[in-house]
Amino acid sequence: MRFPHAMTSAAALSALLLAGSTGFAQQATDAHAPEMASGITSKAAVRAKEQMVAAANPLAAEAGLEILRKGGSAADALVAVQTVLGLVEPQSSGIGGGAFLVWYDAASGAVTTFDGRETAPAAATPALFLDGKGEPLAFFDAVVGGRSVGAPGVVRLMEAVHQKAGRLAWAETLQPAIALAEAGFAVSPRLNALLAGDKDKLATQAAARAYFYDAAGEPLAAGSLLRNPDYAETLKVIAAEGADGFYKGAVAEKIVAAVKAHETNPGLLTLDDLAAYEVKEREAVCAPYRGLDVCGMGPPSSGALTVGQILGMVAEFDLAGLGPDDPESWRIIGDATRLAFADRGLYMADSDFVKMPSGLLDADYLKERAALIRRPTALEDDAVKAGTPPWDKAELRIDGTSLTQPSTSHFVIVDKDGNIASMTTSVESAFGSRQMAGGFILNNQLTDFSFAPESDGEAVANRVEPGKRPRSSMSPTIIMKDGKPLHALGSPGGSNIIPYVANTIIALADWQMNMQQAIDLPHLTNRFGTYTIESGTAAEDLTDDLDALGFKTSVGELNSGLHGISILPDGLEGGADPRREGVAIGD
């Protein structure tokens, strides 16, 4: 039996996007879906029998589902979803960026991860983001141009997972994106709004201006048909030559030329840097929570470790009994998040370069940290500092500052054999470095490093070093129960990704919400001392209570892009974030 799903033609899907970010989602929303206070229509959970895709754009989700229908695996569908996302959602991810994948192999029952994070050029030094006076550059002075571009990892990652678990021919998995790039797609209202908002940066770059803006210099209107023949040609090379067609030869030459050609902010990336890039398969980092195993991406991501620390601390409290409406729940969660972020800032970085404490997820250590929260009010700022976990020859480093931007995407795929891909993918800032090559955006992921490499002569863990991968907050997650997968999820959102994911897991495990309900839950996040409360939602009702508990509070936009799928005894249930244009669809 085939479960209902939305229209399948690219033209029909593009037309639906013109109605706005909720146009497609209404295909799977019941007539009585609640309205979020901000006016965003909550989406109903979507059910499927055997296979499903949840992704940030309907065109990408449908491309992945069509690959599954052809007999492809989650690995095959991953390639289709990512390459279409890079076309229709170029502000967030693409082949010029990097990604982390958590993969569940149904045959072996194993969870593993693929690290496709960008790497710093061989010529990079810790002073990469310092000015002539040795002071850190302003963020966007570093971003726009070639300086911020690292060697992209997405294409090698796609190839690696396809070689491991693909069923269809490599070229076939790229065909949906090639066809759509040649035929064109309708610019969505979201893309139009982002083009307008970034005009002062993006439109200053010749290639981007020619592609995204009209002759009068205005952003392409919603509904405009946008073709990208250059991207199609790049994908055809990759289809014919594999990942080597991207990392060597004409495409690589275009990337390096774009990086070096910027007049005021050229970069250091070379052909040798691209040719040397390797994706790394790493052991998953798994943390226990309420009888579940929460598995995610370890360093250079701080995601699984920090999420695991938050969960390990709140596990000492009865969140289920308190519920999501009790400010006490959010006091506990908020202070646990602050303590975890203190450890993250001091200790976490690319573990190929920095020796990290072995005991960041040690149960006794997290109980000690949780004891700090056993109090009636919020922790004072001076009490929120990194702890001393078990070491095992770790290097004590100095905390550093780095900015992460919420221009990322997450998707989840489950195929009929039970293989699962949970992948977070990014070009970092909206439209990355604003440089284009071969029809795609180049990342600015190097600005995820700390700009200041040292303090008082001591090294920052997340400093720039040649070949190093910058610390990330991306938190693709697969949750296991008794050795079987139960949920898969993740989100964009910069460093807010970590509380978005942790809070969603708490909603699933403690408050017994389904995936869509957990995703819909209004956001409250506290990473560095100020409790940010999602504007236009019921969470605003907690502001006075949190103030009374001693928190500094701020009401503002918290634009996540959570996508997730639950594996149920009788099928699959997917959820997509109502704050964006994503969908869950399946058969």
Task: Pinpoint the alpha helices (H) of 229-358.
Answer: 229-241, 244-247, 250-261, 271-275, 303-314, 319-322, 327-347
- Give the pair of three-digit tokens for residue 203: 């439109």
Count of beta carbons in the 10 Å neighbourhood of residue 3: 17
Question: Is residue 117 part of an annotated ligand binding site?
Answer: yes
Question: Is residue 564 part of an annotated ligand binding site?
Answer: no
Q: Taking the CA atoms of 541, 546, 548 and 549 in sequence, report the sign of the dihedral they define.
A: positive
Q: Closest by alpha carbon to 310, among 341, 277, 283, 286? A: 341
Measured CA to CA, the distance from residue 362 to residue 170 in angstroms comes to 42
- Give the pair of three-digit tokens for residue 293: 């195993």
Q: Cα-flanking dihedrals φ and ψ of residue 554, to 5°?
A: -150, 130
Question: Is residue 448 part of an annotated ligand binding site?
Answer: yes
Q: Are the CB atoms for 471 and 300 separated by under 8 Å? A: yes
Q: What angle do CA 420, 441, 86 make, to 5 degrees?
A: 30
Which helix (H) or strand (E) is 479 found in, with range? strand 477-481
Q: What DSSP character marks residue 411?
A: E
Exposed / middle / buried, residue 365 (Cβ in 10 Å: 0-12, 13-18, 19+): buried
Chain-centroid distance of CA 429 in Å reads 12
Residue matched to tokens 């999602």: 534
Chain-centroid distance of CA 326 in Å reads 29
* Polymer length of the chain: 587
Q: Are the CB atoms for 583 and 28 separated by under 8 Å? A: yes
Q: Are strands 98-105 and 110-116 parallel, antiparallel or unpaired?
A: antiparallel
Q: Is 408 a catalytic residue?
A: yes
Chain-centroid distance of CA 122 in Å reads 26
- Among 119, 337, 408, 425, the active-site one is 408
Exposed / middle / buried, residue 213 (Cβ in 10 Å: 0-12, 13-18, 19+): middle
Question: Is residue 472 part of an annotated ligand binding site?
Answer: yes
Binding residues: 117, 448, 472-473, 494
Q: Active-site residues: which are they?
A: 408
Binding residues for L-glutamate: 117, 448, 472-473, 494
